[in-house]
Structure 1
């Protein structure tokens, strides 16, 4: 990212001090192009989550649209014992492409309500270079990037937006370096 863009982001955040006190809505973005969203994403930070408790870093999620409208998910990460991976599937909820239900449990358990979790794209770059994923109860949060690192100023803007949406960003776990 160019220095002028970084300075503009930081200045914009600094100039919105009084406005920053206002809460941002915690809801999916109004539109999402799943085909542009598809592909590989690097996790930059996340809120603690049981299923990722062993992931130290190198967390990568790959999303592949399926012909039936669902999205195949392949997550990998580095643990203290080596690489780990898991497969899942997401489906659109309420005809809203940015509101997905994700299942990593085996298909035969899909009838259980707790087998699926809400996965909301709550903020996304116009060029699909970064995204912020949350959940209705604010217990899940991921900051993702197409690159394995993220600009520090951009990260702090996204972190502040997440705080304004009610997420406990003080508990974020950094899983990738910042530029």
Structure 2
């Protein structure tokens, strides 16, 4: 049986989405350090309507990061289907890595979000704060279930109370 099309946020305001987000939970992926803590993403809106992306995490006290650019997959659509282009080191790949970044859910105050992509291989639960209460977390996990994700692969990201510097 084919999986249903994912519901995607309509009318995402990138200026409100900009800023710092903390990774609360995610699926493991080959492009993120498996034992990273204090993982966060910072999005900065540019004049051309794209977002500068800075993804950071700390492994054994050392900062690891990657930079990129996010942009609407279809500029004429009001769906929150973005493409993210990461600039990987030249020894790693010849071309930038480009992936889908779909905002599947965001609360009205832009404080919590669920982000995935069409194959359902990647999933992130993110928040403006590094810690969220279990009730909100469970609601966000349920949003992922509703979109056909196997949340048994979801792991919580350790976030310390004293965050690394900007």
TM normalised by structure 1 equals 0.77
After TM superposition, give the deviation of residue 56 of structure 1 in Å: 2.2
8 A Cα contact 1:27 1:120, kept in partner: no
Counterpart for residue 106 of structure 2: 124
Matched residue SS, 1:52: coil
Counterpart for residue 133 of structure 2: 151
Deviations 1:116-146 (A, max 9, x none): 1000000001000111101011111000000
1: CA distance between counterparts of 2:8 and 2:101? 9
Alpha-carbon RMSD: 2.0
Among 155, 159, 164, the residue aligned to 1:173: 155
Matched residue SS, 2:68: strand
Map 1:6-45 onto structure 2 (within 5 A).
26-45=6-25
8 A Cα contact 1:149 1:176, kept in partner: no
Deviations 1:139-171 (A, max 9, x none): 110000000101101111111121121111101
Query: Where in structure 2 are there 5+ consecutive unaligned residues?
Result: 160-166
More displaced stretch, 28-37 vs 158-167:
158-167
Give the count of matched residue pairs: 151
Among 120, 131, 134, the residue aligned to 1:138: 120
Query: Where in structure 1 are there 5+ consecutive unaligned residues?
Result: 1-22
